[in-house]
Amino acid sequence: MRIIPAIDIIEGKCVRLSKGDYNTKIIYNENPLEVAKEFEAHGIEYLHLVDLDGAKSSKIVNYKILEQIASQTKLKIDFGGGLKADSDLKIAFESGANQITGGSIAVKNRAVFEKWIAEYGSDKIILGADANNEKVAVSGWLEDSNEDLVPFIQDYQTKGIQYVICTDIAKDGMLQGPSFDLYAKILKQAEGLKLIASGGISTFDELPKLAEIGCEGTIIGKAIYEGRISLKQLENYIIG
């Protein structure tokens, strides 16, 4: 299972939120590049980079930070937040993203998102399926859609989607453990899916359990920044 640390960006700084609430912002580092380099130094190969300013303003904002990290590390970056138009996608890939994650756009403008899958290929486009009570949430989680989570994912599988990042919003940033049951349910019903678990990871022991369920990757944020999971532990897991 791939280990994918998260860097969330607000005003160029590395932050974390709880349950996607911007009022709960904690700044962990003024320099995201420094954080990324530290991940790389511990054998980590992947990075989940989220432009929270972009998510709020509906267009890519912090692409310079993406460019910095991509040009000064070898991390394979998936980038999300505010990708709404073809021009946003172009900027993200030109700035060094390996993959992009589309969340709100996949609900609100399916035609555009399906075009991206067809144009860039399913290895480049990740579906961000964030859930609140098994309903898909959009707009930086500020609103719920009427889309049921599993059918939503299954429908996009028919359009070629392979990778899905699923965050249970109730768990995100709470350090109370991930939604094992939800992930098991998704993987049972959406065969062949490369599911990336996100939200609530709080201890190292949860990682083997997610791998056992069949998750292809897991995104870890606050647990690293709060020292609940050390980079050394992750390094040993990756080597092991």
Active-site residue set: 8, 130
DSSP state of 42: T
Angle CA(22)–CA(14)–CA(62) in degrees, nearest 5? 85
52, 74, 76, 24: CA torsion to nearest 10:
-20
CB 89 within 8 A of CB 83: yes
SS3 222: helix
Give yes or no for a contact between 35 and 13, defined as CB atoms under 8 angstroms apart.
Answer: no
Name the helix (H) or strand (E) containing 128. Answer: strand 125-128
What is the C-alpha separation between 106 and 102, in angstroms, rounded? 6
Please enumerate in sequence order all residues whose Cβ is within 8 A of that of 94, keeping only pairs 6 or more positions apart, or say none. none
Structure tokens given for 162: 């392979």
Q: How far apart are the first and last CA of the chain?
A: 11
